[in-house]
Structure 1
Amino acid sequence: MASPRPSLQLDDDRGSVSTSEETLIKEKRKTRTPSFLPESFMLSERNKHRTSNSQVFDDYFLGPRELDKHSKWPMLFRIHGSCLPELVPPLLFVGAWTTGICLFSRHVHDVGIASTLLTVLGFIVALSLSFRSSTAYERYMEGRRAWTTLTMVSQNLARNIWINAVEREESVKDDLLAKVTALNLIVAYAQALKHRLRFEPYTHYHDLRDLVGHLDTFAKEATELEPHRDDDPPTFWESWGDYLAIPMLTSNPRQTIKRARYPLGNLPLEILNHLTVYINSIVAGGCFRANIYQTQALNAVMTLNDIQANTDRILNTPLPLAYAIAISQLTWVYILILPFQLYTTLGMVAIPGTLFAAYMILGFASIGREIENPFGHDVNDLPLDDFCAQLAVDIDIIAAMAPRDAETFVKSEKNQLMHPLSRSGYEMWSESSVEEIRDALKRKSLRTQKSVQTGLRRGAGKGRGEDVTYERLRASGVDVV
């Protein structure tokens, strides 16, 4: 068995470190200063699971599609995201089959039949493909809604912990570090759920291992007990089998779970256990000053658990096998008898006509099969890597500059309370009377409504003939526009 990829190795190559280097490392550890990772190890890096030699090929032909990529090519000429590559083998077969039928009918014996069967089967094929496409797209949108809910709940839970959980005077530093740990667990939950939905049950993945390495989980134990997992990249035939959707060559995505020799547990669920333990600890310590904050935090954990159950339902409840087999057989029967019916009226033009019809029929069937599982690595699947990276950025933003006191921004001189009516700050307006402030709010509302009604044209909303109140405001130093 080939050695695992360097990015997936569990050891840190300590055997190759010299004695002098070990001494230097020990000296650095004595200083107990925080160390920082280079940018290449940050969470914003995409989870590239393929070899670097085929990186250019993978970036264009495989997926999921990156949200920040933009193409100026017209839709008619785009290949990235199209189902055309998967249709190359079946279209070659259909082309050879149609050519053989047409040549046999032209030179040996006419085997053309009436188009009555074409009309009857065409309606059934259209109905079945519509059913397949609608059910697949419904699953795709359910997956997107589930991940949107996960993002919203994670942000609310992170903000609730960071803002509403008070740091106690006797343990400010410990409480602060515990809150940072909890926020990291929220990010780790999203990453773990993504890997679980992609049948990647271990913890050695580069975007997950540093977030859950300190947790006692079955997945971590299995990762440590199986240092020689089958983490090799797919072979040449497996890669092309997945790319061309050839059933005989495609790999089974669940084989990693089937080959596991130790219990793998449920990593997202275990992360929620640790997160619940933290919430219980801050509740017991009195960090939440209001009961509603406790309720919101526990409800958020319950919602995250519900999201995992919904995504598991989407993943493990595909279209019933009887439907899938029937639709596949029906479409292929229709395509195979199509040249018999088209040759009578079109002659040799039946070859391109059959290919075009097969492309449309098989294309819709391929799209339905691809988006039926929206959590995989196909081009049209949900970009879960980007979603998780953006969630990590959002939570870091919540924790980066959260104000601890409302006065720091309310009483700022740069706080233009009456914008766009006035450019004066808080200090200037604090010297005005309550009546003047209320009158200013009324004028501000009138100006805003006028701006909306005039379509925000140039010069809209500029006041004319201010009353005595605004003369007094100007006299007192308030800058009224």
Structure 2
Amino acid sequence: MGEEAMMHHQDMPLSKAPTMTIDTKAARTNSQASTDVPGSPTHEETDYPTSPRNFQNPFSRAQTSLEMDDYFVGPRDMSKHSKWPMFMRMHGSISPEMILPLLFVAGWSTLITCLSKFVYPLGTSNLLLTVLGFVVGLGLSFRSSTAYERYAEGRKYWTQLTLSAQCLARVFWVHGAEREGEEGKQDLLAKMTALNLIVAFAVSLKHRLRFEPYSGYDDLAGLIGHLDTFAKEATNKETVLHQKSGTLKSIGEYLGVSFAESNPRKLLKKANKPLGNLPLEILTYLASYVDETIGNGLLKVPMQQTLAYNNIAALNDVLTGTDRILNTPLPVAYSIAISQITWVYIVILPFQLYDYLQWVTIPGTICAAYIILGLLLIGREIENPFGNDVNDLPLDHFCQQLASDVDTISSLKKPKIADFVTHKDNMVLFPISASGYEAWAVRSEKKIRKELKLKMEIGYAARLDLQGDQKGNVKAGDEKV
């Protein structure tokens, strides 16, 4: 019955969507050529001031050259794929930070082994190995689980930000009415401004979480340059100028030398004017926009008004939640104690291994230190998920994706039901029928409901057939074995 129904309803072939090929290489060539030619802009450039030829995507790193920072500094580009086996990868590994500690461990274990071999036996009972091993394992487990909890919580907050931003953008664009004539154009431009502020909130929050409190950054200045904010008043060329670290300092940072690490809050300490709270100020402008649209009668439905205010409150919750994660690290007493206990365990390890391993004590101690220090450093690496390390959250990618989502919402005018329900290509009973809306509109309601029931029966039979095929494949594989 299912096969007959499928054949009966194939009365209209499925149309194939045309494909479009874009020569991105040629587009980049044209872009470079247009920017190199001096003179006044062309007519096309004047009509489209945000064309890619005139306006470089501030979120993209496609035009940057490959430097050492691209390999050792993050966050990691989620769009890149590596074919190297996981145990051979260096990008994102904490191995560079373990070079100096492991060299120290190698020298220390060599010293103890040589003294025990040629001078005086220093080997001791391995009782401490068991007792301290349990304590060290407990401390490292607590350190790693706490750090990953903060990492996961930071990702959850950014997911909440994306959800609230998408909902708020949809409320503004779809549910917000537009008046006629010149006022309608003003309403449209106001909507576009509000949507830009939603993206600006995410970008400003990213910079705030990275202790970059100003407004002159490339991906932010164009979105909020027209707003009156404390960050704008405090911004000048020196505050947003990125000073590249020296070679020795960069190497020290890559190797995890604490003396080479810069104070991440140095921009906050050097501020000469009040910095305010830029994301919070942007939310104030968004709330004012909602008040204005409600006052003008452009957002009439109470549920839609509540939805707008609730999503602004949700964005504020993200702001305070991420601030809590950033400014509430693991108590320093825990960090110091766990670090000290770990190093005590590693330092006394050669004494307890020598009687059993002799010269193998040296590589054995190094291997044990690699495992223990690796867990310790991973916990420190992901404790702050909002930084610029390779293993931190890719906030730049998240902001770029949100900007793309908002552009997707605003790319089309509010759809009318007649535009998509009564469309001739609307195959309402897909996949059992390729007939469009017009073919089913002339049939009776009884016939349509009968076909809906048949659709369920065909789907159920198809699932049973699929399960039978899977069981048959498993049985055939067992017989071959």
Partner of 1:422: 433
Aligned-residue identity in percent: 52
Taking the TM superposition and a 5 Å limit, the aligned residue runs for 1:325-344 are 325-344=336-355
Instruction: State how 1:294-313 maps to structure 2 within 5 Å.
Output: 294-313=305-324
Tell me the secondary structure at the aligned position of residue 295 of structure 1.
helix
- Provide the residue aligned with 1:386 in structure 2: 397
Per-residue Cα deviation, 1:292-311 (whole angstroms, up to 9, x for no partner): 00000000000000001000
Shift of 1:422: 1.1
SS in 2 for 1:56: coil
1:220 and 2:232 matched = yes
Are 1:78 and 2:89 matched, yes or no?
A: yes
Q: List gaps (5 residues or longer) in structure 2.
A: 1-37, 470-481
Q: Contact 1:191 / 1:208 at 8 angstroms: preserved in 2?
A: yes
The residue that corresponds to 1:181 in the other structure is: 193
Give the Cα–Cα distance (whole angstroms) in 1 for the partners of residues 386 and 62 of structure 2: 14
List runs of 5+ in structure 1 lacking aligned partners. Answer: 1-19, 459-481
Aligned-partner Cα distance in 2 for 1:277–1:423:
49
Selected match of 2:52 from 23, 38, 41: 38
Shift of 1:204: 1.6
Equivalences for residues 274-285 of structure 1 within 5 A = 274-285=285-296
Q: Is the 8 A contact 1:47 1:385 kept in 2?
A: no
Which residue does the alignment assign to 1:7?
A: none
Q: Which amino acid aligns with 2:358?
A: G
Deviations 1:412-465 (A, max 9, x none): 00000011121111111111111111111111122222222322889xxxxxxx
Structure 1 residue 254, shift from structure 2 partner: 0.6
Q: Write the letter of the residue equivalent to 2:429.
A: M
2:292 and 2:115 map into 1 onto residues whose CA distance is: 80
> Residue 370 of structure 2: which of 332, 336, 359 is its match?
359
Shift of 1:32: 7.3
Q: Distance in 2 between matches of 1:310 and 1:415?
A: 44
Match of 2:359 in 1: 348
Give the 5 Å matches for 1:41-60. 41-46=56-61, 55-60=66-71
CA apart distance, 1:34:
4.5
> SS state of the match for residue 68, structure 1?
coil
1:75 Cα deviation from its structure 2 partner: 1.1
Q: Would you say 1:314 and 2:329 are equivalent positions?
A: no
Which 10-residue stretch deviates more, 115-124 or 235-244?
A: 235-244
Equivalent position of 2:415 in the other structure: 404
* Whole-Å separation in 2 of the counterparts to 1:312 and 1:218: 19
Any conservation in 2 of the 1:47–1:206 contact (CA below 8 Å)? no
RCO greater where, 1 or 2, for CA within 8 Å and sep 6 or more?
2
Aligned counterpart, 2:446 = 435
Partner SS, residue 455 of structure 1:
helix
Give the structure 1 partner of residue 75 of structure 2.
64
Amino acid at match of 1:134: S
Q: Residue 237 of structure 1: CA displacement?
A: 2.7
Residues 222-241 of structure 1, C-alpha deviation per residue, up to 9 Å, x if partnerless?
A: 114x6466631222233222
Take 2:293 and 2:402, find their aligned partners in 1: how far apart are those partners?
Answer: 24
How many pairs does the alignment contain?
Answer: 430
The residue type paired with residue 216 of structure 1 is D
SS of structure 1 residue aligned to 2:429: coil
Q: TM-score, normalised by structure 1?
A: 0.85
Q: Counterparts of 2:306 and 2:223 in 1: how far apart (Å)?
A: 26
Report the counterpart of residue 100 of structure 1 in structure 2. Answer: 111
Tell me which residue corresponds to 1:463: none
